[in-house]
Chains A and B, each alone.
Chain A
């Protein structure tokens, strides 16, 4: 019996091939296999023959929406910066998307980075993706040479060992607290839909931090970000960070210092998180790609919680809904107003 992900891979290959063959799309964004165990390569496929390279497994941890705007641009006929848009519809791009990635695509549509009618979403219900770091931690320094994936187990092999572990135990933290694993946007359904997850508290990790004292939170913040090397993988892997020039790269004026000063590093992380407020879908990519294992996702998750509590909105659930932070309602909470009781004092 093929595993669930083997069936999904087969369907992705078949659908991608069909869409490319009949000319519906000019490119398909998916995953190819990686050179190390538990790694995958993001892949843009442009010919039906190359579709055999597409795979799907439990290690697809990067949000593919990150590649969507550039891939859409790449399939347009070349034109100069001032040339008018060509007549007629532009070529389409298909993209594999889970719950959180599809919500990122919705945000891209809301923010006019992506045109809805140029995207074909190959919707895959997510069963949660596995964290390579969590698996490696279980094997404390023993090198893992191969991993075989079953529906509920992983068989981990090294030079002198072979052990079976439970898959869900090593699923990423963001996936474990995810409530919308099924894509919100589906043009072509891949595999079976998965149901909403009843998660008693999706913000459990943030709550644990919030319960600390001010000093405790500060200690967490300083310690967590102390190992940051400012490589910006967290920023570059996120589909929300599409500014042509990021504030940290600006040189005139320069907003943030360039070396490893804790103040500069902290500023980068706080600002990055705030720029994602009301837009982040907790896909966990930022946390996954960090070479230092820093949990910067707690900042965006906290803002997700605030936006939900203040405005009742979760990012990317509906393409035609307004963005929470670019709209207002008369009854929006405004604790910051000076004439409101308890103003300026959080939590009063």
Chain B
């Protein structure tokens, strides 16, 4: 793997260079509209001289919407009577421009790999993935709500990143992880990183931020029926208000629904975020709802992340970013849910 040395000034210049050919995005730290012309909520387009600022911990909005936009237009059509295209479904023209997301944390980078498992054969997710490059920054500082290591990630992880920046005494070293990363680095005249800096990062990786999901891994061997029937769900379901806050801010919640919207004869088929916390999510056409009770929906979110998903795909469907821990209105803390599950006999 190639590793280069980059100063903060050079980083700014790199972003400027990229923004001449690609669409470059950086996180917004303050309040910002959820939908602006071509931007995912919580991110801004970089095409001026604005330097990158990052806060400790995950970015306020996850990278999910670059891959799984809210909403994504799948098809368009017209209902106009004399239109030659009437009744035909067309795929909308998609921008082929590469989008470069700068400021991604290791947890979010990993979330894309996890979501990729169920979306392996999803053409829309794959197309977005193909045109998106992730430029990440490892975490020299963590928040008390960060638990990426416990979920099998690491504050210093570079998994899923095309370029991974890590702080050094006088700037950064950047690891080029993928072919897309190579493309971003092409033509830039940067010095290779020094051996000492590379080994310093390696030692930080092996000490402070080592991935260690061994404790939680025992859940994979637990019998589902026991976890499902555990008494813990009763009180959890009682206090949960079944909002969609945790699912919508979560980088690894990926459920959607599809609808047609028609405005003045012009239709579009969209796919938009759905949440297993909503009653409509599981409502059958017959009127029957297999998850008609609040407690069933609360249980589904956690068992999906910690049991159904790992049983099917291997890893847990949570990267430990702690966003839901911080923002759940009733303080349902997934770390407590995990330890309760581990304690189920």
Contacts and interface: CB of A to CB of B under 8 A. Distances in A.
A260 interface: yes
Contacts of A66: 241
Given A226-B34, A229-B34, A262-B35, A141 B55 contact: yes
B335 A233 contact: no
Contact of A245 (B33, B41, B279, B325): B279
Given A35-B325, A227-B33, A228-B34, 7 more contacts: A71-B238, A141-B29, A231-B245, A232-B244, A232-B278, A237-B241, A237-B243
B66 interface: no
Interface in A223-272: 223, 226-233, 235-237, 245, 249, 251, 254, 257-262
B132 to A, nearest CB: 20
B331 A41 contact: yes
A259 B270 contact: yes
B327 interface: yes
- Looking at chain A's contact residues, the main secondary structure is loop
Contacts of A292: 31, 34
15 contacts: A39-B331, A43-B235, A44-B235, A44-B238, A74-B238, A228-B34, A231-B245, A231-B248, A232-B278, A233-B329, A236-B241, A237-B243, A237-B329, A259-B272, A292-B34
A49 B34 CA distance: 46
Interface string B143-187: 111000000000000000000000000000000000000000000
A37 B165 CA distance: 32
A223 B143 CA distance: 30
B280 A251 contact: yes
A40 interface: yes
B144 A288 contact: no
The 9 A-B pairs with the shortest beta carbon distances in the complex, nearest first, are A289-B329, A226-B33, A233-B243, A259-B71, A231-B244, A34-B331, A236-B241, A291-B327, A35-B333
A285 B238 CA distance: 18
Interface in A267-308: 288-289, 291-293
Contact of B70 (A35, A43, A259, A289): A259
Q: How large is the interface on A (under 10, 10 to 19, 20 to 34, 35 or more residues)?
A: 35 or more
A287 to B, nearest CB: 11
Interface of B: 29, 31-35, 41, 55-57, 70-71, 143-145, 235, 238-239, 241-245, 247-249, 257, 259, 261, 270, 272, 275, 278-280, 283, 294, 325-327, 329-333, 335-336
A321 interface: no
Contacts of A35: 325, 331, 333, 335-336
Contact of A62 (B238, B257, B278, B330): B330
Contacts of B238: 44, 67, 70-71, 74
A251 B259 CA distance: 10
Nearest to B33: A226
A249 B144 contact: no
Interface of A: 34-36, 39-44, 62, 66-67, 70-71, 74, 141, 143, 145, 223, 226-233, 235-237, 245, 249, 251, 254, 257-262, 288-289, 291-293
Given A35-B336, A231-B243, A291-B249, A260 B70 contact: yes
Contact of B56 (A70, A141, A230, A235): A141
B325 A232 contact: no
B159 to A, nearest CB: 25
A143 B143 contact: yes
Contact of B41 (A229, A257, A293): A229
A36 B328 CA distance: 11
B325 to A, nearest CB: 7
Contacts of A227: 31-34, 41
Contacts of A245: 279
A296 B162 CA distance: 40
Nearest to B278: A249
